[in-house]
Structure 1
Amino acid sequence: MSEQARDPELPGRLLLTERDALLPLLRNTPEEHFALRTACPGWTARDVLAHCAAALVRIVEGRLEEGVFSPGSNAADVAERADWSLARVLDELERGFTEAGPAIAAHEDGSLDTVALGEWVHAGDVREAFGVPGAYAGAGATPALPLLAVASRRRDTPLLHATLPGHPEPVVLGDPVEGRPTARLTADTSTLIRLYSGRPLVGTRYDLVGAEEHELVIYR
Structure 2
Amino acid sequence: MTDVNESRDPELPGRLLTVERDALVPLLRARSEEDFALATAACPGWTVRDVLAHCSAALIRVVEGRFEKGVFSPESNDRDIAERAEWTNARVVDELERGMTEAGPVIAEAGGVLDMIALGEWVHAGDVRDAFGEPGAYAGDGLPHALTLLARVTREKGHLPLHADLDDVDEPLRLGVESGTRTPARFIGDAATLVRLYSGRPLAGAEYELAGAEAGELNIFG
Task: Establish whether TM, by shorter chain, passes 0.5.
Answer: yes
Q: What code does the residue aligned with 1:5 have?
A: S
Match for residue 182 of structure 2? 180
Matched, 1:72 2:75: yes
Q: Which residue of 2 aligns with 1:200?
A: 202
Structure 1 segment 21-60 matched on structure 2, within 5 A: 21-38=23-40, 39-60=42-63
Q: Give me the whole-angstrom Cα distance separating, in 2, the residues matched to 1:134 and 1:167.
A: 15
**TM-score, structure 1 normalization:** 0.96
Paired with 2:74 and 2:152, the residues of 1 have a C-alpha distance of: 22
Q: Which amino acid letter does the alignment assign opposite residue 71 of structure 2?
A: V
Identity of aligned residues (%): 63
Report the residue type matching 2:214 in the other structure: E
9, 20, 23: which one aligns with 2:11: 9
Large movers: runs of 4+ above 4 Å: none
CA shift digits 1:135-184 (9 cap, x unpaired) = 00111101111111122234443100101134332111112254321111
Distance in 2 (CA, whole Å) between partners of 1:167 and 1:202 is 21
Shift of 1:64: 1.5
User: 1:57-206 counterparts in 2 under 5 A?
Assistant: 57-108=60-111, 110-206=112-208
CA distance in 1, matches of 2:61, 2:182: 41
Structure 2: where are the runs of 5+ without partners?
A: none
Unaligned runs of 5+ in 1: none
Cα distance, 1:67 vs. partner?
1.7
**Matches of 2:138 and 2:76, distance apart in 1:** 26
Which shows bigger deviation, 84-93 or 146-155?
A: 146-155
Instruction: Give the partner amino acid of 2:31.
Output: T
For 1:7 and 1:177, how far apart are their aligned partners in 2?
Answer: 24
TM-score (norm 2): 0.95
Q: CA RMSD in A?
A: 1.2
Instruction: Find the residue that maps to 2:170 and give its secondary structure.
Output: coil
The one-character-per-residue Cα deviations of 1:81-139 (angstroms, maximum 9, x if unpaired) are 0110111000000000111000111112x000110000000000000000001100111
Q: Hey, what's the Cα distance between the residues in 1 that align with 2:51 and 2:23?
A: 17
How many corresponding residue pairs? 219
What CA distance in whole angstroms lies between the structure 2 residues aligned with 1:170 and 1:91? 38
Q: Per-residue deviation at 1:66?
A: 2.3
Contact 2:169 2:191 in 1 (8 A): no
Tell me the distance in 2 between the aligned counterparts of 1:73 and 1:4. Answer: 35
Distance 2:157 2:217 in 1: 10
> Separation in 2 of the partners of 1:99 and 1:183?
37
Partners in 2 of 1:4 and 1:41 — Cα distance? 37
> Take 1:146 and 1:73, find their aligned partners in 2: how far apart are those partners?
29
